[in-house]
Structure 1
Amino acid sequence: MNSRHRFLIATVFVVISGAVSALAAPELPTRMATHWNAAGQPDGTMPKAAALAFLPAMTAVLLVVFALVPRIDPLRENIAAFRPVYDWFVVVFTAFMAVIHGGVIAFNLGYEFDFTLLVLAAVSGLFYYVGVVLEHAERNWFVGIRTPWTLSSEEVWDRTHRLGSHLFKLTALVALVGLFFGEYAIYFLVVPALLTAGITVVYSYYLYEQLERDSDQT
């Protein structure tokens, strides 16, 4: 399977989202719930037309951006080195967006479920695959943990991404555990995600400075 085929799969998820919108439209209320609080209760709405178009349209735009990135990145040859993993991330992302869109429509059709838990479960899967991407990502300007220090050093990039890969996968697993804690579930995602972001940035800076000191001493 080549890159074109993988992007075709991603496109199918966008088309499915649009088709679901069209098929469900007659049965939906004129204003749809589109935002939920931590307890899983809807607390925000949008007009039906906007709600049905928003996620499929945004996903379609992002799909175009994802297709352009490997062509416009100054280090495009590095993206080519992990292109299959990158492409499958695009597929996973579009599937994630389709699941969220389907959940919005299902909720507004009257199906009873905790929408927040659906989102957390889907985000957990997405975060886990982000960890897979980080494990394989070569230095580039668009994909990965891009700090001044990772972009300035191949070794800092590699070691920071190894750490980031483990942390993102751990965040995904912690978030899944959080599904059993009701309205507190959101914190099992947000807190580890913020810690992961902070730790990887600080680690990249610390590692870069350490390598610079070691270089000066030799």
Structure 2
Amino acid sequence: MKKHIFPIVIIGGTIIIWLFSLPYLSTEIPVHWGLKGEIDKYESKLTAMLSLTGIMVLTYFAITMLPKVDPKRENYKYFKRGYTFLVNFFLLLFFIMNGFAILGGLGYKLPSGSIGIILIGTIFIVIGNFLQIIRSNFFIGIRTPWTLSSDVVWTKTHRFAAKLLLISGFIIILTSLLPIKWTDYLVLGIVCFSVISTISYSYFIFKKEVQMIN
């Protein structure tokens, strides 16, 4: 039950903040920003409240259910604390997103471009730390045909991905210091490089393991 306290508090707190803020919000409020900080989507305040808080509730419900339906559910006990931390971290991110929307609806101008980049970098760092402890499963982690076919490939791939994401996360955060016109290309390039490198590495390790067996 203890693991549910933080999610309940942060989801409930978010809803309460919305309800207190509703009378003071503008008719339409920003709900999404691009990497350059430009607002690219508005919604009515009621729709925004329902959609943004609904995402929190549905995400928490879905993530909580995953270990119960995963055929490899027994492996979750080996990274239970890390999994709980990851769930709480993403709920905190959704809380921040709700906060951005509410503050935007109240007329505050936020440096959303640099904040968004820092959040992306932070996500990379947190996930990178999490990948080091995760065990084989069908829902969370680097799930390629090669990692799912071998625990050895899974472990080596996740150790590689963990280091890569940690480095990439810090680099992404540093890009927030650069002119905003460059950040789109740099962040996208880093993300693509991380994904392609990890998938390629899992295949390389798989082929190497096959050769060793034969």
TM-score by length of 2: 0.93
Q: Give the equivalent residue in structure 1 for 2:77.
A: 80
Which stretches in structure 2 are left out of the alignment for 5+ residues? none
- Measured on the aligned residues, the alpha-carbon RMSD in Å equals 1.5
Farther-moved stretch of structure 1 (4-13 vs 95-104): 4-13
Q: Pick from 183, 191, 194: which aligns with 1:193? A: 191
Structure 1: distance between partners of 2:119 and 2:83: 19
Structure 2: distance between partners of 1:7 and 1:178: 36
Contact 1:6 1:91 in 2 (8 A): no
String of CA shifts for 1:157-209, please: whole Å, max 9, x gaps.
00000011111111211111011124233444322122111111111111101
Which stretches in structure 1 are left out of the alignment for 5+ residues? none
Aligned residues: 213
Q: Identity rate of aligned residues, in percent?
A: 24
Q: Which letter does structure 1 place at the counterpart of 2:55?
A: M
Query: What does residue range 66-77 of structure 1 map to in structure 2 within 5 Å?
Result: 66-77=63-74
Structure 2: distance between partners of 1:105 and 1:192: 31
Q: Give the equivalent residue in structure 2 for 1:118.
A: 115
SS in 2 for 1:39: coil
Structure 2: distance between partners of 1:196 and 1:72: 29
Deviation at 1:77, TM superposition (A): 1.1
String of CA shifts for 1:105-132, please: whole Å, max 9, x gaps.
1122111222122222223222211111
SS in 1 for 2:138: coil
Q: Give the equivalent residue in structure 2 for 1:34.
A: 31
Structure 1: distance between partners of 2:154 and 2:167: 20
1:15 maps onto 2:24 in alignment = no
Deviation at 1:37, TM superposition (A): 3.2
Structure 1: distance between partners of 2:185 and 2:101: 22
TM-score by length of 1: 0.92
Query: What does residue range 37-186 of structure 1 map to in structure 2 within 5 Å?
Result: 37-183=34-180, 184-186=182-184
Farther-moved stretch of structure 1 (110-119 vs 153-162): 110-119
Farther-moved stretch of structure 1 (87-96 vs 164-173): 164-173
Runs (4 or more) in structure 1 with deviation over 4 Å come to none
Deviation at 1:98, TM superposition (A): 0.4
